[in-house]
Structure 1
Amino acid sequence: MRREMDELFGDASDRGLVGGRGRRGGFTPAVDVFYAGDPPRAVVKADLAGIDPSDVDLEIRGRELVIAGIRRPQAADGRVYQQVEIGHGPFRRVIGVGADVDADGARAHYESGVLIIELPLVAPVAVGVPIENTR
C-alpha cells in the first residue's frame, strides 16, 4: 500500500523541503515518462546528476521499471559548509509503465547527468472469440 501511495503522490513523503532529502535519508531523483515512436516505446528520463552510472541498477518487472542506486557524498576535504542542499544516499524509484514491455529490447544510456531508458512496448495480441449459436 505504501508503494501505491508513493506512486500516487510522487513519493512526497520522502521529499524534504530542502534538496529532495527526506526522513529516510537519501534522495528521490526526478523522473519524466512519455510515450513516443513507431513502434511505440516508453521513454523514462531520470535526473541522476553527480551519480556514477555504475552505481545505478535497472530492473524490469512486468509493467514496472525499478531504478535503484546511490548518490555518494562528496569528500569534505576540510571544508566547512554553510549550506547543504544536494541530497545523497540510496534511492529507489518504481515507475509504472502502463503496458507490457519487451524487456529484451530495453536500452539505457547516460547523457549529461540524465539517465534515458527506452522500453519497447509489446503490441497487444488480438484473439478472436467464437460465438456459439444456442438455437
Structure 2
Amino acid sequence: MQHFDLTSVTKDQDVIVFDGECVLCAGFFQFMLRHDRLARFKFVTAQSPLGQQMYISLGLPTEDFETNLVIVDGQVFQRLDAFAAAMRALPGLWPVLGLCRFLPRIMKDPVYFAVARNRYRLFGQRPSCLIPDAAVRTRFLPGGF
C-alpha cells in the first residue's frame, strides 16, 4: 500500500471529514455550510475514497466511524475537540462553544462515545451516503464524496 500523506492532501486548507450516512453528522455539515460564510472549510465524507484514506492514515476504523475529523491549521482534531475546533473557526458567537475543549477528557469522551455509538438509532441513518449538488461540490476536496 502506498504511503498516504494527510498534510499534502489538505494543502493548508481547513477540512471537515464527516459520516455522510449519519443524519446527525450530515446536519453538522449543513450547519457548517450555513455558518462558514468565508468558506474556510473544505469537506470530505468518511465513506469517500479520500475519507477512507484519511481514517486509515490515522489508524481509525473505516466502517463504523467513531468520530468526525476537523483539520485546522494542519492539526487534526477528533471527537468533541473536533467540534470545538470547528466552532472556534466560525465568526460571531459560535466560538463560545469551543470552550467545551477545556472539559476534562474523562467527562467529554464518554459522552461523545455514547452519542457516537447510538447516533443512527437516535438521529437516523440515510440509506446512502450524502451526494452534494453541483453548487456544494465546490466545497469538497477532490475525491471527497
Would the TM-score normalized by the shorter structure come out above 0.5?
A: no
Class of the TM-score when normalised by the shorter of the 2 chains:
under 0.3
Larger radius of gyration: 1
Report the TM-score, using the length of structure 1 for normalisation.
0.24
Report the TM-score, using the length of structure 2 for normalisation.
0.23
Q: Which has the higher strand share?
A: 1
Q: Which has the higher helix share?
A: 2
